[in-house]
Amino acid sequence: MDREGVIRVSGARVTFDSVISAFDRGATPEEIASQYPTVLLPDIYAVIAYYLSHRGEVEEYLDGRRREAARVRAENERRFPPHGVRERLMARQQP
């Protein structure tokens, strides 16, 4: 787990969430390995095995990550309102 509380797979930048999400969408470990070449196939199998053996804990972790993502998204939208962005960008392109 890094200092932001994100679990990464075998020291790579790939998150535990990414591997589990791909697996839940039906990807095989081999397909996941081809999507994330920095993660070794045995590590992907280990992540999936842990997930299958500890579903409750993993779901709690993933729920927490989703809540945090929603909080950050809402904060960013509050600080940087998305409405009018396209118009402002188009106006910048006008000579």
Segment 14-23, tens digit of pLDDT: 999 999 999 9
Residue 59 lies in a domain: yes
> What span, in angstroms and rounded, lies between the C-alpha atoms of 68 and 66?
5
Say how many C-beta atoms besides its own lie within 10 A of residue 9's C-beta.
21
Residue 58 lies in a domain: yes
Residue 47 lies in a domain: yes
Residue 5 lies in a domain: no
**Higher pLDDT among residues 11 and 38, named by residue:** 38
Global pTM value:
0.74
**Higher pLDDT among residues 76 and 90, named by residue:** 76
Q: How many domains is the chain built from?
A: 1
Residue 3 lies in a domain: no
Residue 9 lies in a domain: no
Residue 91: CA atoms inside 13 Å, Cβ hemisphere, count? 5
Distances (CA, A) of 59 to 24, 78, 93: 12, 28, 46
Residue 7 lies in a domain: no
The boundaries of the domain holding residue 47 are: 16-93
Q: Determine the residue type at 58.
A: V
